Amino acid sequence: MKPTADVVIIGGGCMGASVAYHLARRGVTDVVLVEREAQLGAGSTGRNAGGVRHQFSHEANIRLSIESIGLLERFEAEVGAAIDFHQHGYLFLLSELASVDAFARDVELQQALGVDVEWLTPEAAARLAPGLRVGGVRAATFCARDGITDPDGVTQGFAKAARAAGAEIARGTEVTGIAVERGRVTGVETTRGRVAAPVAVIAAGPWAGVVGAMAGVRVPIEPLRRHIFIAAAPAGGWAGGAPDTRIMVIDFETTFYFHREGAGVLFGMGDPGERPGFDTSVQWDLLERLTPVAARRLPALADAPISHAWAGLYEMTPDAMPIVGPVPEVEGLYVIAGFSGHGFQHSPATGRILADVIAGRDPGFDLGPFAADRFGRGVPGERNVV
């Protein structure tokens, strides 16, 4: 690993790889990306459901989605990697009047920004997703340009293009410290030696708070475990009991969601009793509590065998909005983390925006909602967290 660089990126998931790619596009190629694991994207990036959507409540997140999905649509042509992108839509099911009212405001904002989102009756929603039961559902929203893609393909695509432009990617290398002298970054310490650099980017996802502490700053991000299960298809196939497309269906009140994954069905649900921590072992008792909810919405899941299960970490901030941009206390230190469950899908846009900031260019985007020092000001956050 080289001893000096213009920029050191800490974390080799989708965010770190996107920043490296977009820096290279701006002529900043003296970059070292440091990843603790043997493979890129082995953390939260590799443990998510791969969904991308426009349907957020905060304008800043909607704008990130518009840009990010635009790049994903042309990813193979522009970045040079196939990402298995299926735009079969996101379907939100709304059962409470308060949710219907809130989503009405959200849809108005989304449409004002040019997003084609539809209001649907429960019956129309059921027709979009064979096997779905809509008892108790008052309304639904659907955006056909939302979809599912491959997190590993996106991450590896960004990384390969960055490496081809001159960036160095150091895998199996752990960051042990961030050197700060007279209020500014001077280098990054790793298990393979020190890299002297004036800029360090914390792209460490759930571990961003731990890494920030190395520079003497508080990054208010907590890890929160989330589970994903994959149900195997019955012997005779789903026989209309599950969608044939990869439409993502989300029961907003319970946070239960599902979509087809190959021959099976991928599904999950938040656990309101989960406490922050780095444990990623599978808690099978959650499946027992999840199954009645799943069976109510997709009865075919009631007796379906589970073929795979894993847990990953959301990187939660107090307002469910990311931290993107400079850290005021330390010159040369930047954060791109804390996306609270919707990071992968926003990595194309946020990587571009932060690369512009680091390169001294106008990103054309108001980073105020993502500022590291915004907390405690009562700024509205994101409501549509799944």
pLDDT at 205: 97
Q: Give the Cα-Cα-Cα angle 238, 151, 188 (nearest 5 degrees).
A: 155
Distance of CA 277 to the CA centre of its chain: 18
pLDDT at 142: 98
Q: Would the CA dihedral through 376, 329, 15, 179 be positive or negative? A: negative
The two structure tokens encoding residue 282: 């599978």
pLDDT in tens for each of the 386 residues of the chain?
Answer: 999 999 999 999 999 999 999 999 999 999 999 999 999 988 878 788 899 999 999 999 999 999 999 999 999 999 999 999 999 999 999 999 999 999 999 999 999 999 999 999 999 999 999 999 999 999 999 999 999 999 999 999 999 999 999 999 999 999 999 999 999 999 999 999 999 999 999 999 999 999 999 999 999 999 999 999 999 998 888 999 999 999 999 999 999 999 999 999 999 999 999 999 999 999 999 999 999 999 999 999 998 999 999 999 999 999 999 999 999 999 999 999 999 999 999 999 999 999 999 999 999 999 999 999 999 887 789 999 98
Helix (H) or strand (E) holding 22: helix 14-25
Alpha helices in 26-150 (DSSP H): 59-73, 75-78, 97-112, 122-128
Instruction: With beta carbons less than 8 A apart as the criterion, state whether 350 and 304 touch.
Output: no
pLDDT at 46: 77
Task: Name the pairing type of β-strands 7-10 and 31-34.
Answer: parallel
Q: How deeply is 209 buried, as exposed, middle or buried, from its count of CB atoms within 10 A (0-12, 13-18, 19+)?
A: buried
Longest dimension (CA), the chain: 68
pLDDT at 194: 98
The full length of the chain comes to 386
pLDDT at 140: 98
Q: Which structural domains are found in the chain, ordered by start? A: 7-50+151-221+319-370 (3.50.50.60), 90-144+223-316 (3.30.9.10)
pLDDT at 377: 81
The two structure tokens encoding residue 328: 């005021």
pLDDT at 47: 85
Cα separation, 225 vs 44, in Å, equals 10
Q: What are phi and psi of 237, to 5 degrees?
A: 80, 180
Distances (CA, A) of 40 to 16, 82, 266: 10, 17, 23
pLDDT at 376: 83
Cα separation, 342 vs 349, in Å, equals 12
pLDDT at 380: 87
Distances (CA, A) of 219 to 160, 283, 315: 29, 28, 11
Complete DSSP assignment for 196-218: E-S-EEE--GGGHHHHHHHTT--
Distances (CA, A) of 156 to 14, 37, 369: 8, 14, 29
Enumerate residues 6+ apart whose C-beta is below 8 A from 134: 93, 122, 123, 125, 126, 140
